[in-house]
Amino acid sequence: MIRELTKLPINRIRAEVRSVDGYHLKSYDCPVKLNQNESPFDVPDDLKDRILERVRQRPWSRYPEPMPMDLVAALAHRSGWDPRGTMVCNGSNTLVQLVLSVSTSQGTKVVIPSPSFSLYGLYAGIFGGEVVNVPLTQDFRFDTNLIRETVTKEDANCVILCSPNNPTGCAISNGELEELLDTTDALVLVDEAYGEFNDWSARDLLANHRNLIILKTFSKALGTAGIRIGYLLAHPELTQQILKAKIPFDINVFSHVAAMCILEQEGLIKKRIAYISRERDRVFNALQSIEGVTP
C-alpha cells in the first residue's frame, strides 16, 4: 500500500532540527530600517549599468564556475593572504553554516559569547553541538579570561567570536585573540562582518595560527547585501577541508560579476567607510550628552 506523501511522519527529521524554531526576521512598516545594519548607500547607477552590461555579455545557459577563481584571487590580494586559504561563498552566513557542518557533531561543545548573532547557536545546535554561552561583562565587552577558561574546561571544539560584535559593538583586541589562539587547538572562528569599522583585523594573526578562521562579507561596509557574497580566510590546509562540504556553483553569474566590479571601487568604499565611522562617533557623542544614557 502506497502511503500519501502528506502523511509521512515528521520524526524522519532529526530531533536537533525539530527542537528549534529556525531563523525569523520580523518585517516592519516604517520609513527608516536599521535592524539589519545595512549600508545607507546604494550602488551608484553608473556602476549598476556597468555590472548589468558585463552580465549581459556572459552566457546564462552555462553553469557558473564551481569556485570563481578570479574573485578568489582578487580577495586574496585585497586581504594579503594565500589564495589557497581563501574561499568565496554565497554570503558569510553560509560560511558559518559550512564551518559548523564540518566541525560539529553530536555532543560537540561550541563556545559563543552572549549576546551575539543568533545564527551561530542555531546552526551549532542543528548539527548536534552543545552551545556553551559565555556572558559579556557588565560593560558589554568580551570576557576573554572567562572565554579561555570555558574553552579549556569544556574541551570545546569551536569558539565563535563576532568582532565587532553584533549587537553590542565590542571587539576583541589583537593581544586577547592571540592569547586565546595560543591556549587552545579549538577552531577559533572570527566573524568580521563589521571588521572595516574596527581598528585592526585578525588577519594579522593568520600566518602563525592554523586554528584561526576569519569570515568577511560584502553586505556591510561594501554596501551590497543583495548580491550575497562572503569569503573565508584560513590556513590553506584547513580551508581545503572546509571546501569539501561547499556546494559547487553557489556563486551565480550576477553576484560574481557584481563582486568583481565592486572591488574595483576601493576609493568609493574607503570614502563611505570613513563617512559612516564619523557618523558613528557623532551619534555616540550626542548620546553621551543625554542625561541617563551611558556608553
In this structure, is the dihedral angle defined by the CA atoms of residues 20, 23, 29 and 31, taken in order, positive or negative?
Answer: positive
pLDDT on residue 30: 87
Residues of the chain with pLDDT under 50: 1
pLDDT on residue 7: 61
* Residues 13-43 pLDDT 10s: 999 999 988 898 888 888 888 889 999 999 9
Question: ∠ CA 225-245-204 to the nearest 5 degrees?
Answer: 60
pLDDT on residue 292: 87
Omega before 164 within 30 of 0, i.e. cis:
yes
pLDDT on residue 1: 45
The Cβ of residue 206 has, within 10 Å, a number of other Cβ atoms equal to 20
pLDDT on residue 167: 95
| Rg of the chain taking only CA atoms, in angstroms | 21
Average pLDDT, the chain: 95
* Residues 147-157 pLDDT 10s: 999 999 999 99
User: CA-CA distance, 50 to 30, in Å (whole number)?
Assistant: 32
User: CA-CA distance, 170 to 31, in Å (whole number)?
Assistant: 28
pLDDT on residue 151: 98
Longest dimension (CA), the chain: 74
pLDDT on residue 143: 98
**Which of 150, 109, 147 is CA-nearest to residue 131?**
109
The answer to whether the CB of 68 falls within 8 A of the CB of 256 is yes
282's CB contacts (< 8 A; 6+ apart) are none
The answer to whether the CB of 116 falls within 8 A of the CB of 277 is no
Q: For residue 22, how far is the Cα from the chain centroid?
A: 18
User: CA-CA distance, 252 to 186, in Å (whole number)?
Assistant: 33
Classify 148 as helix, strand or coil: helix
pLDDT on residue 26: 85
